Structure 1
Amino acid sequence: MSLLKKVFRFYYEGFKGMTVGKTLWAVILIKLFIMFVILRLFFFPDFLKTNYKSDKERAEHVRNELINLN
């Protein structure tokens, strides 16, 4: 049996036997979805895209900010 097949079978059997673990994984996945998708849409707007029209302007702004770190 190949190593990849053994690893897959190990995790498959482990998840299949879970009862409480399935619920915990569902909660973890929902929380990750909320953190990375929902919150990003509302609280982290695309600053560079809204304030600068071209890629050259965006690159110049980033370059200046990196150089002028105080």
Structure 2
Amino acid sequence: MKTKITQFFKFVYYLYYDGFVNMKVGKTLWLLIAIKLFVLFVILKWLFFPDVLQEKFHTDQQRSQYILNQLTKEN
């Protein structure tokens, strides 16, 4: 049973590996996807989502107390 599962995963791995190695246009598309994800998750976070807790509070105790109050307050 283990050998069939192992063979299956090896087959899937080599299928994708061989497909990726023989790509021409696909590598460029993967590079564009990687650049886009980098811009979305790193650059935009840095520009538009500052670390508010770090700016408002000086100690971890103050930060944790603020978060606890925000999570447990009733509307």
TM-score relative to the length of structure 1: 0.81
RMSD over aligned CA atoms reads: 1.7
Long gaps (5+) in structure 2: 1-6
Q: 1:65 aligns with which of 63, 66, 70?
A: 70
What is residue 17 of structure 2 aligned with on the other side? 12
CA-CA distance at 1:3 after TM superposition: 6.1
Task: Report 1 or 2 for greater relative contact order, CA contacts < 8 Å, sequence distance ≥ 6.
Answer: 1
- Which stretch of the first structure deviates more once superposed, 13-22 or 50-59? 13-22
Which structure: larger Rg?
2
Partner-residue secondary structure (3-state), 1:30: helix
Give secondary structure in 2 for the equivalent of 1:53: coil
Q: Does 1:28 align with 2:33?
A: yes
Separation in structure 2 between the aligned mates of residue 46 and residue 61 of structure 1, nearest angstrom: 14
Aligned length, in residue pairs: 69
Which residue does 2:3 correspond to in 1? none
The answer as to 2:38 corresponding to 1:52 is: no
User: How big is the shift at 1:18?
Assistant: 1.5
After TM superposition, which residue ranges in structure 1, 4 or more long, deviate above 2 angstroms? 2-11
Unaligned 5+ residue runs, structure 1? none
Q: Percentage identity across aligned positions?
A: 46
Question: By how many angstroms is 1:46 displaced?
Answer: 0.4
Query: How far off is 1:69 after superposition?
Result: 5.4
